[in-house]
Every structure is written in structure tokens, then in C-alpha cells.
Amino acid sequence: MSDLKKIYYKHRNWIEPVGFSLISLFILLAALLPSWISDGSSLRFKTPWFLLGLLAVPLIIFTGVRKTRTSGRMYHPLVKVLVKNKRGWKTWIPPLSVALKSLVIALVFIALARPQDSSRRMDVNVEGIDILLTLDLSGSMATPDMNPTRLGVAKDVLQNFIKHRKNDRIGSVVFAENAYTLCPLTLDYSILSQMISELELGVISDKATAIGNAVALSISRLRKSNAKSKAVILITDGTSNAGNTSPEQATEFAKTLGIKIYTILVGRNDNSAKINPALLSDMADKTGGAFFKASDKSQLESSFHNILDALEKSKIEDQAVAYAEVFIKYLWWALAFALIDLLLNLFVMRQTP
């Protein structure tokens, strides 16, 4: 027998309790650490005085394992032969059972301390932003200077924008020679996204561009909204040349009602006489929005990212950290360890009277 084995057998009444205590501590920390190290997470305890019960756990393990080593002794005439034989794996079950029971007690105390995790944020009294997506369907939106066309790119970016919204009601207005409501304000993003994906040129008369009418219709959809923030996102590739409401009039309506207008001029037509960047810029400036130019998909996506940032800033003051109760997962762990201990004692360590 090696020196290490001799030392082990001589002092195992102390070594094994300490070893199982350390193993139990490691398992306990493994259960707690994910809540401490996850991104943006902070664990706290609502009733932390229950954690004082953890001080008794190492003592329970220590005395329990020692008891399994000092009880049930017997005298046998061939004890020297028995000592030479290797220990069976079942000899580890009693101290393991003590460790499992101690883990159950520790996890119950942790659950009683009511651990709470702030990794989840929730909106407290937050009213989402009401947004009207106002999309140009005039014939020039079929121009292939954006792959595949201006309209195709606009539809893709709009769908991606919708996918990233939360708690905001979104509606859509489409326009060309006149303006029509595609979808009223809704939280059903899947329906709105599907309706936008099915848009095609020619569904309305596309011989002119009625920007004023489109913005006025969008404003009317937002007029009765009780949201603190309301915005119109106008996507067009031309100037206003139709309609019975001018863009300037629509802008004044928006300003009066506190509705911001974000305007995006799409396409590579800087030298075209059919566009009016100054008009779009003026509409945005007067209402507290912003004006963007986008000659390709990446620039259009960037424009929407900037709009997203601006919209989120208007909500950030209404957000607060909410601590979620997570004690239930510790109770589930306790139940699992208790079940394992029960099965070990019922089927592995069955005792005869």
C-alpha cells in the first residue's frame, strides 16, 4: 500500500467530510454563479437573513460523513483479508447521501432568501411610441439604382425595422397620386410586416406624388393617439406634385400636434429636377425629426438605425430596472437532489432489518 493510501485510510474520517464539503460548496456555487456573471445581471436577496442558515451546512456535512464512518462497526476473524480487498463503490453512497441532503437544505435556505435577478428589464408605466410608416408607391420607386429596386429595398428595411420594435404601435400609409391607409396602428407586427411584403407598384395610381396628402393622412391616424411620442417616417424618392394638401400645411399640422416627421430621400438622383431635398429637410426640422439621404440599402438601414436611436432616447427616462423572482429554480434544484438521494437509499443502499 502506498504512503498516500496509508495516510488516506488513517485519516479518512476527516478527509472525506472535508472533501464532500468542498464538493457540495462547488455545486452550490455552480448553481449561483450563472445569475451573478450573466450580462447585465445583478442578483440580490429580498430576505437575506435566511442565508444565515447556510452556516450550518458545512457542520451538517462534516458530522454526517463522520457518522457514516464511525457507525455500524463489526468484528470479524478475517478482518485482515477484508482490509486487503478494494473498497466497493457503494461505500461512497452514505457520505454522498449526506452531501445531497446538505445541498437540499442549502438550496431551500437560498430560496427562502428570495433571490431576485435584474437581468430582465421591464418598462414601468411606459407608453410606447406610435409610428406611421409612410411609403411612396409612385412609378419612380421601380428605378433599379438600388438592388433590386428602390421599393424592394425600402420594403426589406421597413420589415427589419418593424421586427426590432417593442411596445410601439405601428401603422402604415402608402401614397402616390393619392394616399391610402395600408394598416392602422397595431401591435400585431406580423400582420403589418406581411402587408408591406406584399406591396407592389400599380396597386394605386402611380403617376404623381402627393406627399402633403400622405403626411396629412398619417397625422390623422395619429391625432387621437394618447402616446407621449408620435412619429411619421416618410420614405420617398421625389417631390410633391399632387394632392389637395401641401407638405407645408401638413408640416404645420404635425408641429401643432407634437408629431415628429422623419424624412428619407431614397435613390441616386441628386441632380434630378424632380426631387426637393430642401422640402424634406424643412419638414423634419420644423417638427423635431431628422432628414436622411439613402442611395443604397446600407445607407437606408443606417437612416433607420439613427431613427431608432432617436425614438429610444425619448423613452429611456421612463424605463426602470425590475427584479424578477428566481427562487423557484433553486427549489427545483433542491427537489432534484432530494429525489436523487431518495432513489439511492431506496434502490442502491437498501438495508435489511
- The ranges assigned to domains in the chain are 3-120+323-348, 130-319
Distance between CA atoms of residues 353 and 349, nearest Å: 13
Residue type at position 271: N
**Per-residue pLDDT, 94:** 72
Distance between CA atoms of residues 16 and 99, nearest Å: 11
Instruction: Give the angle subtended at the CA of 159 by the CAs of 155 and 160, to the nearest 5°.
Output: 120
Distances, alpha carbon 144 to alpha carbons 87, 88, 297, 318, in Å = 80, 78, 12, 43
Question: With left for phi above 0 and alpha for psi between -120 and 50, is residue 144 left, alpha or beta?
Answer: alpha
CATH classification number, 130-319, choose in 3.40.50.410, 3.30.70.60, 3.40.50.2300, 3.30.230.10: 3.40.50.410
**Per-residue pLDDT, 309:** 81
**Per-residue pLDDT, 65:** 58
Query: In terms of Cα–Cα distance, which of 48, 112, 55 is closest to 331?
Result: 112
**Per-residue pLDDT, 129:** 86
Distances, alpha carbon 252 to alpha carbons 41, 100, 283, 286, in Å = 46, 72, 9, 8
**Per-residue pLDDT, 116:** 79
**Per-residue pLDDT, 337:** 85
Give the pLDDT means over successive 10-residue stretches in the chain (353 positions): 58 60 60 48 75 73 60 52 56 71 83 74 60 95 92 95 88 96 93 94 91 96 86 93 94 95 88 80 96 94 89 53 73 87 74 50
**Per-residue pLDDT, 124:** 46
Residue type at position 132: L
